[in-house]
Amino acid sequence: MPSQLKSVKNFFILMLGAGLIGLAPLFVRWSELSPSWTLFYRMFLALPFLAAINLYFNRSNAFRLKNKKNLMLSFIAAFAFACDMSAWHWSLQFTSVANSTIMVNTAPIYMVLIGVLIFKEPISRQFIISFALTYVGVIGLVYFSNSITESGLFGDLLALAAALLYATYLLIISRLGTESSINIIFYTTFFTALFSLIFALFESRDFLPSSLDQFYNLLIMAILCQLGGQFFITFSLPKLTASFGSIGLLMQPIIATIFGALVFYEFLNFTQLGFVMIALIGIYFARLEISSQKERTVEIQN
């Protein structure tokens, strides 16, 4: 019974983390700064809190990596993450919160696809099913959007590009498994802040929040989405089975879709909701396939 209670507890912690990240589109939309400046503050304002958490949990090993080469991998991963987040923030300027978030969450499909094409992973029936379901859902969601415009399609394409970049980030991060996850989160957040600052300087000269409300918006986003969301997911995900982990992570697009409707009146009709469900089922199967790939890799190494 205690182990079952722990699993339930970790599952709800995972859903909380995914749900907090699902709130990020709201803060991005509310921000008056450009998408990359918003991203910069999301990362920069989270750094002091991440440093404190690192010192508390890792103590003498805080900020220390077991392999110095992994610092370069964190740097490369952060570049992919910064490009991913900038593209996603920009997509929210052109398309709905639901469309953008569902598109970005297709990243597991690209992770499996990269595994097949580059690492010569076998193509499983589960992957074919997940690929078909995800893209039937995505295409249907785009086609039946309330207003299909050139700008809306551009936003959808930006979100899909962000998904590919996010998949790249996750694949690089997966190669840092021997390192403390809190250390890796700190370094990727730090480097992402640097990259987003470079992007932002090219984007706009308006870099300061125009009011205290705007500053609080950025601060709350940093604390809830970057700090809270990442920490809760990192804490709980390794302690859950692949199926429970995959289900819990679906809370992110679900929360984003719900609040997109409640806050920005981006309501979905029944047809769109149907295609959202199809896409989410496809994403779920893709995440299970990623876990299967990892298990096969471990077996080969042993």
Write out pLDDT tens, residues 52-88.
Answer: 999 998 888 888 888 888 899 999 999 999 999 999 9
**Is the CB of residue 239 less than 8 Å from the CB of residue 181?**
no
- pLDDT of 142 higher than 60: yes
- In the structure, what pLDDT confidence band is assigned to residue 7 with cuts at 50, 70 and 90? confident
- The string of pLDDT tens digits covering residues 243-262 is 777 788 889 999 999 999 89
> Tokens standing for 44?
């920069």
Main-chain phi, psi angles of 92, to 5 degrees = -70, -15
With tokens 């297709």, the residue in question is 106
Per DSSP, the three-state class of 177 is coil
- pLDDT of 90 higher than 80: yes
Kindly state the DSSP code that residue 205 receives in the 8-state scheme. S
Where does residue 59 fall: left (phi above 0), alpha (psi -120 to 50 degrees), or beta otherwise?
left
**Is the CB of residue 199 less than 8 Å from the CB of residue 144?**
no
- pLDDT of 1 higher than 50: no
Average pLDDT over the chain reads 87
pLDDT score for 248:
84
> Tokens standing for 205?
């000269």
**Is the CB of residue 67 less than 8 Å from the CB of residue 191?**
no
Mean pLDDT of the region 101-110 = 90
Sequence-distant (≥ 6) Cβ neighbours of residue 179 within 8 angstroms = 65, 66, 67, 70
- The string of pLDDT tens digits covering residues 187-225 is 999 999 999 999 999 998 888 999 999 999 999 999 999
